[in-house]
Amino acid sequence: MVPVGVGFIGAGDVAYLHKLALLQIRTAKVVAVFDMDEPKSKNLASDLGARVCRSADELVNLPEIQVVYVLTPEPAHHENVMRSLRAGKHTFVEKPISFSREPILEWIELRKQKSCLCVPGHNYIHAPALRSMKKLIVSGQLGEIQKLWILFRCPFPARSGTGFPVPCGRS
């Protein structure tokens, strides 16, 4: 089986967490990396045996890439998500995905036109503590919720570590 080709736009700290997760999936392979900071691209790409791209446009237009991870700071998300979706790539967007609704609505429309997935990186929705809280809220046991503030803290592995991190809330 040929692995699904993944490209990373952004090679900062969060890219290393996604790298660790993808290394556990035999059917996925990071094949290209682009970051505006070329040394970051080279470091991450060398860890993965991936290609270093000179631009985000180059990355999204590689035929061996089916999925693009947008791992940039939030102000660059819209441009990169649109670039990826226009190229017909399934797109993962790291959180926070956007601070306004309008870009998200554009992504939804374009992903429909291109028949692509556009997935936000809200991974904590699967944490047992948050699932339990949702059940309490939906059941009405807590009454009418007026305001909710959640602080979810979990340690991240050192970048140089060799072990796979245990996701927050799981053992």
pLDDT score, position 150: 72
Domains of the chain: 4-121 (3.40.50.720), 129-171 (no CATH)
pLDDT score, position 145: 86
Measure the CA angle with vertex 131, ends 169 and 156; round to 5°.
25
Q: pLDDT (tens digit, 0 to 9) for every residue of the chain, 171 residues total? A: 889 999 999 999 899 989 988 999 999 999 999 999 999 999 999 989 999 999 999 999 999 999 999 999 999 999 999 999 999 999 999 988 888 999 999 999 999 999 999 999 876 667 788 888 889 999 999 898 888 777 666 665 555 444 444 444 443
DSSP 27: T
pLDDT score, position 123: 66
pLDDT score, position 110: 97
pLDDT score, position 72: 96
| Strand extents, DSSP E, 24-84 | 28-34, 51-52, 67-70
pLDDT score, position 157: 58
Q: How far apart are CA 171 and CA 166, in angstroms?
A: 7
Strand 51-52 and strand 118-121: the pairing is unpaired
User: Whole-prediction pTM value?
Assistant: 0.77
pLDDT score, position 74: 93
pLDDT score, position 147: 84
